Amino acid sequence: GYTGAILHMINHALGKSVLFLSAGTLVQTYNSKLITRIQGIGQTLPITATVFMTSLLAIGGAPPFGLFISELNVASQGFQTGGFGLGFVFLLVIAVVFAGLIYFAGKMFFSDLPSRIPRGERFSVSHLLILLPVCLLVFQGIYMPKTVQQLIYKIVSFMTAGGVY
Protein backbone atom coordinates (compact mmCIF):
# COMPACT_ATOMS: atom_id res chain seq x y z
CA GLY A 1 0.00 0.00 0.00
CA TYR A 2 2.42 2.68 1.18
CA THR A 3 5.20 1.50 -1.12
CA GLY A 4 2.86 1.62 -4.11
CA ALA A 5 1.61 5.07 -3.08
CA ILE A 6 5.13 6.52 -2.80
CA LEU A 7 6.15 4.95 -6.10
CA HIS A 8 2.98 6.34 -7.64
CA MET A 9 3.74 9.87 -6.39
CA ILE A 10 7.27 9.76 -7.83
CA ASN A 11 6.15 8.48 -11.22
CA HIS A 12 3.15 10.79 -11.35
CA ALA A 13 5.38 13.79 -10.68
CA LEU A 14 7.69 12.79 -13.53
CA GLY A 15 4.83 12.18 -15.96
CA LYS A 16 2.92 15.31 -15.01
CA SER A 17 6.00 17.53 -15.45
CA VAL A 18 6.52 16.19 -18.97
CA LEU A 19 2.86 16.69 -19.82
CA PHE A 20 3.00 20.24 -18.49
CA LEU A 21 6.08 21.13 -20.56
CA SER A 22 4.75 19.39 -23.68
CA ALA A 23 1.35 21.06 -23.32
CA GLY A 24 3.10 24.42 -23.13
CA THR A 25 4.74 23.75 -26.48
CA LEU A 26 1.42 22.64 -27.98
CA VAL A 27 -0.45 25.69 -26.67
CA GLN A 28 2.28 28.00 -27.93
CA THR A 29 2.38 26.39 -31.39
CA TYR A 30 -1.40 26.23 -31.85
CA ASN A 31 -2.09 29.49 -30.02
CA SER A 32 -4.97 27.80 -28.21
CA LYS A 33 -5.72 25.86 -25.03
CA LEU A 34 -8.73 24.09 -26.55
CA ILE A 35 -8.22 20.41 -27.32
CA THR A 36 -10.57 20.76 -30.30
CA ARG A 37 -8.16 23.26 -31.89
CA ILE A 38 -5.00 21.27 -31.19
CA GLN A 39 -5.05 18.65 -33.93
CA GLY A 40 -2.54 16.78 -36.04
CA ILE A 41 0.22 17.10 -33.46
CA GLY A 42 1.96 14.02 -34.84
CA GLN A 43 2.59 15.95 -38.07
CA THR A 44 3.17 19.37 -36.56
CA LEU A 45 5.45 18.52 -33.65
CA PRO A 46 6.55 14.89 -34.05
CA ILE A 47 9.08 14.93 -31.19
CA THR A 48 6.87 16.78 -28.72
CA ALA A 49 3.81 14.77 -29.78
CA THR A 50 5.59 11.45 -29.25
CA VAL A 51 6.83 12.50 -25.83
CA PHE A 52 3.36 13.87 -24.97
CA MET A 53 1.64 10.62 -25.99
CA THR A 54 4.24 8.52 -24.18
CA SER A 55 3.69 10.56 -21.02
CA LEU A 56 -0.07 10.21 -21.34
CA LEU A 57 0.30 6.44 -21.57
CA ALA A 58 2.63 6.51 -18.58
CA ILE A 59 0.39 8.70 -16.44
CA GLY A 60 -2.60 6.61 -17.48
CA GLY A 61 -0.92 3.54 -16.02
CA ALA A 62 -0.09 1.59 -19.17
CA PRO A 63 2.67 -1.01 -19.08
CA PRO A 64 5.71 -0.91 -19.06
CA PHE A 65 5.73 2.39 -17.18
CA GLY A 66 6.34 2.80 -13.46
CA LEU A 67 2.77 3.98 -12.81
CA PHE A 68 1.50 0.61 -14.05
CA ILE A 69 3.58 -1.11 -11.37
CA SER A 70 2.46 1.30 -8.64
CA GLU A 71 -1.21 1.02 -9.65
CA LEU A 72 -0.95 -2.77 -9.55
CA ASN A 73 0.52 -2.47 -6.08
CA VAL A 74 -2.29 -0.18 -4.90
CA ALA A 75 -4.96 -2.40 -6.52
CA SER A 76 -3.43 -5.48 -4.92
CA GLN A 77 -3.59 -3.83 -1.51
CA GLY A 78 -7.19 -2.83 -2.21
CA PHE A 79 -8.12 -6.44 -2.95
CA GLN A 80 -6.25 -7.69 0.12
CA THR A 81 -7.50 -5.17 2.66
CA GLY A 82 -10.82 -3.94 1.32
CA GLY A 83 -12.07 -7.04 -0.39
CA PHE A 84 -13.11 -7.45 -3.98
CA GLY A 85 -15.28 -4.32 -4.12
CA LEU A 86 -12.57 -1.79 -3.30
CA GLY A 87 -10.06 -3.29 -5.72
CA PHE A 88 -12.68 -3.55 -8.46
CA VAL A 89 -13.80 0.08 -8.07
CA PHE A 90 -10.17 1.24 -8.17
CA LEU A 91 -9.49 -0.69 -11.39
CA LEU A 92 -12.76 0.48 -12.94
CA VAL A 93 -11.97 4.15 -12.27
CA ILE A 94 -8.48 3.72 -13.71
CA ALA A 95 -9.91 2.06 -16.85
CA VAL A 96 -12.43 4.88 -17.42
CA VAL A 97 -9.80 7.59 -16.93
CA PHE A 98 -7.37 5.77 -19.24
CA ALA A 99 -10.04 5.40 -21.94
CA GLY A 100 -10.74 9.14 -21.76
CA LEU A 101 -7.05 10.00 -22.03
CA ILE A 102 -6.60 7.76 -25.06
CA TYR A 103 -9.73 9.06 -26.77
CA PHE A 104 -8.80 12.74 -26.57
CA ALA A 105 -5.08 12.21 -27.12
CA GLY A 106 -5.83 10.10 -30.18
CA LYS A 107 -7.96 12.88 -31.63
CA MET A 108 -5.14 15.37 -31.03
CA PHE A 109 -2.46 13.11 -32.48
CA PHE A 110 -4.17 11.49 -35.48
CA SER A 111 -6.64 14.13 -36.68
CA ASP A 112 -6.00 16.22 -39.77
CA LEU A 113 -3.53 19.03 -39.46
CA PRO A 114 -5.05 22.53 -39.64
CA SER A 115 -3.74 24.50 -42.63
CA ARG A 116 -2.73 27.43 -40.41
CA ILE A 117 -0.09 25.35 -38.57
CA PRO A 118 3.34 24.62 -40.12
CA ARG A 119 4.63 21.02 -40.18
CA GLY A 120 7.71 19.70 -38.41
CA GLU A 121 9.98 20.72 -35.59
CA ARG A 122 13.72 20.70 -35.08
CA PHE A 123 15.33 18.88 -32.19
CA SER A 124 16.56 21.34 -29.57
CA VAL A 125 18.01 21.34 -26.07
CA SER A 126 14.52 21.89 -24.65
CA HIS A 127 13.58 18.43 -25.91
CA LEU A 128 16.16 16.96 -23.54
CA LEU A 129 14.20 18.43 -20.62
CA ILE A 130 11.16 16.39 -21.58
CA LEU A 131 12.99 13.27 -22.77
CA LEU A 132 14.88 12.65 -19.52
CA PRO A 133 11.78 12.22 -17.30
CA VAL A 134 10.13 10.03 -19.97
CA CYS A 135 13.19 7.78 -20.00
CA LEU A 136 13.01 7.58 -16.20
CA LEU A 137 9.33 6.62 -16.39
CA VAL A 138 10.10 3.77 -18.78
CA PHE A 139 13.18 2.71 -16.83
CA GLN A 140 11.32 2.56 -13.50
CA GLY A 141 8.67 0.36 -15.07
CA ILE A 142 11.26 -2.11 -16.32
CA TYR A 143 13.85 -1.99 -13.55
CA MET A 144 13.82 -0.45 -10.10
CA PRO A 145 17.35 0.40 -8.91
CA LYS A 146 18.20 -0.89 -5.44
CA THR A 147 18.92 2.64 -4.16
CA VAL A 148 15.44 3.83 -5.20
CA GLN A 149 13.86 0.77 -3.56
CA GLN A 150 15.78 1.43 -0.35
CA LEU A 151 14.78 5.09 -0.36
CA ILE A 152 11.11 4.21 -0.81
CA TYR A 153 11.31 1.62 1.99
CA LYS A 154 12.88 4.23 4.30
CA ILE A 155 10.10 6.70 3.50
CA VAL A 156 7.44 4.04 4.15
CA SER A 157 9.17 3.02 7.38
CA PHE A 158 9.22 6.64 8.53
CA MET A 159 5.54 7.09 7.66
CA THR A 160 4.36 3.92 9.35
CA ALA A 161 6.50 4.41 12.46
CA GLY A 162 4.86 7.77 13.15
CA GLY A 163 8.06 9.71 12.63
CA VAL A 164 8.46 13.32 13.68
CA TYR A 165 8.12 15.90 10.90
pLDDT tens digit sequence for 142-152: 887 888 888 88
For the chain, what's the residue count?
Answer: 165
pLDDT in tens, 17-73: 999 999 999 999 999 999 889 999 998 999 999 999 999 999 988 888 878 877 887
pLDDT for position 45? 92
- Tell me the average pLDDT across 97-114: 90
% of the chain at pLDDT higher than 70: 97
pLDDT band at 165, cuts 50/70/90? very low
Spatial separation of the C-alpha atoms in residues 101 and 54, rounded to whole Å: 12
pLDDT for position 111? 86
pLDDT for position 74? 78
